[in-house]
């Protein structure tokens, strides 16, 4: 029999080897994604890209970036005036066709999805970006007074990716080509107190994407999950841009280059670095390690509201 110390030494060597491999793999993945990504030809997937939540922030920037690559853009959002303005801006900048669909994703009826389906029916859709989403004030779950707001987050964050993916997949499978980008969030990776519903809904988007990806990858369809951290958009009160908080155009300019390279991406170098560092924290400490910073963020947001 081996002495106990010899067994422990062997275990240590194996563990060190596996940790080193894990570290090298992540460094390579990081470098490949953000420093030397392979170019992806979006036009080979189809003539049209559909983007939800497209009037500002991440959605608008995805629409602009895809138009820059020669794709016609179908914009879906709630405010028809803003949609028309963004569509005009895209057409003027990139000389592509645009289409707009004004819908309220807080609507609980299936009619909105029937209307969307009818308007998408004759488009050669190559790319779908499921970006539309909603969040809630940072507060204890039991302190949320409006059950309508709870329902709205579920309706807006979960139903659109499911329903729109279901609409476009059959034709993508038929032509064996297509890209579906689902915008989740870095909070989907670990428990986050005070934004429990938002966190859970974004975790759903992540797992939905990963599950669908396995179903359709043999058809040549790319399904990507994007997990951003803080970005300077109205979702987080247009926070002042910093190294860890890029502007929306900076973030999407980086994230869109990972399509075809990464099936699950944090989209931006500093967000990926943050995620990798969090992964080093033992799982048992995750919930408690997020409480203090989340309380701090909550206090700042409450102060902003009082101004």
> What residues act catalytically?
198
| Nearest alpha-carbon partner for 183 in 165, 163, 164, 157 | 157
- In contact, 260 and 301? CB cutoff 8 Å: no
Write out the two tokens for 147.
């059950």
Distances from the Cα of 15 to the Cαs of 3, 6, 195, 279, 303, in angstroms?
Answer: 19, 14, 36, 17, 47
Write out the two tokens for 1.
């029999």
What is the Cα gyration radius of the chain?
A: 21
Write out the two tokens for 224.
């990507």
Is the CA virtual torsion 186, 202, 120, 233 positive or negative?
A: negative
Token look-up 């563990």 returns 15
Which helix (H) or strand (E) segment is 204 a member of?
A: helix 196-216
């Amino acid at each position: 029999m081996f002495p106990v110390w010899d067994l422990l030494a062997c275990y240590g060597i194996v563990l060190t080897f596996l940790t080193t491999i894990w570290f090298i793999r992540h460094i390579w993945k990081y470098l490949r994604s953000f420093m030397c990504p392979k170019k992806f030809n979006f036009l080979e997937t189809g003539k049209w890209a559909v983007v939800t939540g497209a009037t500002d922030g991440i959605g608008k920037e995805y629409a602009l970036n895809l138009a820059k690559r020669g794709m016609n853009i179908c914009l879906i959002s709630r405010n028809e005036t803003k949609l028309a303005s963004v569509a005009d801006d895209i057409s003027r900048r990139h000389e592509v066709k645009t289409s707009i669909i004004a819908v309220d994703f807080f609507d609980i009826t299936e009619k909105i999805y029937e209307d969307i389906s009818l308007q998408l029916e004759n488009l050669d859709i190559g790319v779908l970006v499921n970006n539309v989403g909603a969040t809630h004030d940072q507060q204890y779950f039991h302190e949320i007074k409006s059950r309508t707001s709870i329902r709205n987050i579920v309706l807006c964050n979960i139903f659109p990716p499911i329903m729109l993916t279901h609409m476009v997949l059959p034709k993508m499978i038929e032509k064996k080509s297509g890209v579906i980008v689902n915008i989740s969030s870095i909070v989907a990776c670990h428990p986050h107190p005070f934004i429990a519903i938002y966190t859970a809904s974004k975790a759903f988007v992540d797992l939905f994407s990963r599950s669908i990806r396995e179903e359709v990858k043999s058809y040549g369809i790319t399904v990507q999950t994007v997990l951003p951290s803080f970005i300077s958009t109205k979702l987080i009160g247009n926070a002042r841009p910093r190294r860890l908080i890029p502007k929306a155009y900076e973030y999407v300019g980086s994230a869109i280059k990972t399509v075809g390279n990464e099936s699950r991406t944090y989209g931006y170098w500093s967000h990926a670095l943050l995620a990798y560092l969090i992964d080093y924290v033992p799982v048992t400490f995750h919930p408690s390690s997020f409480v203090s910073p989340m309380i701090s963020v909550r206090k700042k947001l409450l102060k902003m509201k009082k101004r």
